[in-house]
Chain A
Amino acid sequence: MNAEESRLLHAYLDGELDPPRAVAFEARLAQDAGLRAAYERLRELSSAIREEADYHAAPAELSRAFSEQAPRARRSWLQPALALAAAVLLGIAVGFFLPRGAGEEALARELVASHVRATLSDRMIDVASSDQHTVKPWLSARLPFSPPVSDFSGEGFPLVGARVEYVGGKPAAVLVYKRRRHTIDVFVSPDVPSGRAASARDGFNVERFSAQGMGFALVSDLNRNELEDFARLLAGRS
């Protein structure tokens, strides 16, 4: 294997090739058994690391220590007042010149904020269960609709529970899944706008699609490729 092939191999494994180069590389993989074997070994190593290497979560005392040590910001009343005035002016301007995609942007912001709030307050889950037959009735009892609920443990996306949130003032089911150490919130509601979209905010990826009259929105710090895979899984099952 030459240097060029080795670089391509790692870049392909890491999802770093643009689509035309990925397609070209797949054609080479299909023809070259040696290259294919090298790729399989590399992929096996990568998944061994992802599954078996220790992930060291931050001890709770660190957040506490930060809260005690970080200086409280001193602000005059003027700053919030100015910020409010600016927000009002901006609101007016945006109202007049609402750009395409602004609704998407606002929705992504709300979904990410909800995900972050739940992470911070440790209130990700109101009903903790990997059993879809426990989660579904729990949600149906609290919502004016019945969201589809499936476990994907077999595919590496175990269901861990659910909660109920408000999105755009309407109740939505939030199914909580895990992918290794990453948490994925799946917002499901007939009121989440239909259509497909993807965006990123503050280090979180958002994927949207609709199926069977329901809007689905996935929010996670998981990488884009795997989040897309999971969206496809969900779309196939519902």
Chain B
Amino acid sequence: MTERSRFEQQVLPHMDAAYNLARWLTRNDHDAKDVLQEALLRAYRFFDGLRGEARPWLLAIVRNACFSWLQANRPGDVAPLDEEAEEADTETPEALAARSLDRRLLNEAIAALPVHFREALILRELEDLSYRDIARITGVPIGTVMSRLARARRLLADSMRVIASAARLPVHR
């Protein structure tokens, strides 16, 4: 089997996961397409270096391409986080309004999360990846993945509640 068909067989089935991540990190279709196209060519060049599973490997390449792109085009998005503050945050969501809100508002609230929290949330909830894989993809220790995920969920629940009360939406469902 040629290198190319091995690549097509092992890597291309994960295109949706790659695009979903790029789309959530860049937050629009046009930039996601550009970044992913670059990332795929890079993945193809470094395909020899693939050891183990293709999906986390591809997602790590896509994630890094997105961060380089954000660094160049929207540096404000990738400002370093105060990780200390995350450790101090131990509360879980209180009254959760998620169910009472429509899809659009939930999606807006996720898109508004700081990018480090957003990527942890997307990789866990939409890609079903383990903490270990998320740690490898995002290049941080597992403990940091855990606190980012906890923080992402808490921020999301908070902003859903704020949106709900601002819009005076009836809580139902």
Contacts and interface: CB of A to CB of B under 8 A. Distances in A.
A26 to B, nearest CB: 17
Interface in A170-185: 181-182
Interface in B126-164: 126, 128, 130-131, 146-147, 149-150, 153, 156-157
Given A50-B126, A55-B20, A182-B128, 10 more contacts: A7-B147, A10-B146, A38-B92, A41-B96, A45-B153, A56-B32, A65-B37, A66-B41, A200-B53, A203-B14
Contact of A48 (B7, B32, B56, B98): B98
Interface residues of A, number: 51
A75 B131 CA distance: 39
Interface of B: 2-4, 7-10, 12-20, 23-24, 29, 32-33, 36-37, 40-41, 44, 53-56, 87, 90-96, 98-99, 103, 106-107, 110, 121-122, 124-126, 128, 130-131, 146-147, 149-150, 153, 156-157
A52 B37 contact: no
A182 B15 CA distance: 13
Interface string A54-78: 1111110111011001101101000
B33 A202 contact: no
Instruction: Summarize B's interface: helix, strand, loop or mixed.
Output: helix
B8 A120 contact: yes
Nearest to B133: A203
A10 B107 contact: no
29 contacts: A1-B91, A7-B147, A7-B150, A10-B149, A14-B131, A14-B149, A41-B92, A41-B95, A45-B153, A49-B106, A49-B125, A49-B156, A52-B103, A53-B110, A54-B107, A55-B16, A55-B20, A56-B20, A56-B29, A57-B16, A58-B36, A59-B29, A62-B37, A62-B40, A69-B37, A70-B40, A202-B55, A203-B53, A223-B130
Interface of A: 1-3, 5-7, 9-11, 14, 16, 38, 41-42, 44-46, 48-50, 52-59, 61-63, 65-66, 69-70, 72-73, 75, 113, 116, 119-120, 181-182, 200, 202-203, 221-223, 226
A119 to B, nearest CB: 5
Given A7-B150, A45-B153, A66-B41, A203 B55 contact: yes
A45 B98 contact: yes
